[in-house]
Homo-oligomer: A and B are copies of this chain.
Amino acid sequence: MEARRKISKRDSIIEAAIEVFSQKGYHNTRMEEIAIAAGAGKGTIYEYFSSKMELFHDILLTGWRKIEEDISVDEMASRPVAEQLLHMLSGHLRYFQQNRQLTRVTICEVKTIDQELVEWALQMKEEKEKQVCSMIAAGIERGELRPDLDIDIVSRMICSLIPYFASYVVMNDLDLDSYRLADQISAVILTGIKK
């Protein structure tokens, strides 16, 4: 029971931190606010996280992992690009909708804070771009896509859609049909790149 309580304490802190960070941003959030929102003491946060930065970093990591778990692209690698693209986009959009606050934090905040974090975020981005590159390259290989495409550029075009529509979804409280939206987006892109 103690272990369970400890876990729930840690989780309530994370939950509260996501809430407050997403509303006020990293720099405008005070540790005390998080503590209050978590129903814990200020000191308790430091039992689980060594600093404000680490807490933030942890949230970012968790967020990213959850996305990647949610949208496992690899196992789709053999499917047609059309399907993969649709799967990826709709997966992301659905995730954004279901994790609005976490998304807001993950997308917007990283750049202002810490060199280490910026580089980490860049890595995440590049990883994503590489994933999409592979998808495109394979599509060309298989003859699905036009062979004259600049793979890097197309990959970045697709990746650009994700954070932009993320903030679109997050900022508006409207509940979108994420599948239909993804369908429309990928239709345009596909027509633009298919053979």
Which residues from chain A sit less than 8 Å from chain B, CB to CB? 25-28, 108-109, 111-113, 122, 149-150, 153-154, 156-157, 159-161, 163-165, 168, 171, 181, 184-185, 187-193
Q: Which residues of B contact A157 (CB under 8 A)?
A: 161, 185, 188-189
Q: Are A185 and B112 in contact (CB under 8 A)?
A: no
Q: Which residues of B contact A160 (CB under 8 A)?
A: 160-161, 163-165
User: Closest CB of chain B to A179's CB: distance in Å?
Assistant: 13
Q: Which residues of B contact A171 (CB under 8 A)?
A: 122
Return 27 A-B CB contacts under 8 Å, by A number: A25-B111, A25-B112, A25-B113, A26-B112, A27-B27, A27-B112, A28-B112, A28-B113, A109-B111, A112-B112, A150-B184, A153-B181, A153-B184, A153-B188, A156-B164, A156-B165, A157-B161, A157-B185, A157-B188, A157-B189, A159-B164, A160-B160, A160-B163, A187-B192, A190-B192, A191-B193, A192-B192
Q: Which residues of B contact A184 (CB under 8 A)?
A: 150, 153
Q: What are the 8 closest A-B residue pairs judged by CB atoms, nearest first?
A: A192-B192, A160-B164, A25-B112, A188-B192, A27-B27, A191-B192, A108-B111, A160-B160
A164 interface neighbour in B108, B164, B189, B193, Cβ under 8 Å: B164
CB-CB nearest in chain B for A189:
B192
User: Closest CB of chain B to A64's CB: distance in Å?
Assistant: 18
Q: Which residues of B contact A188 (CB under 8 A)?
A: 149, 153-154, 157, 189, 192-193
User: Closest CB of chain B to A36's CB: distance in Å?
Assistant: 16
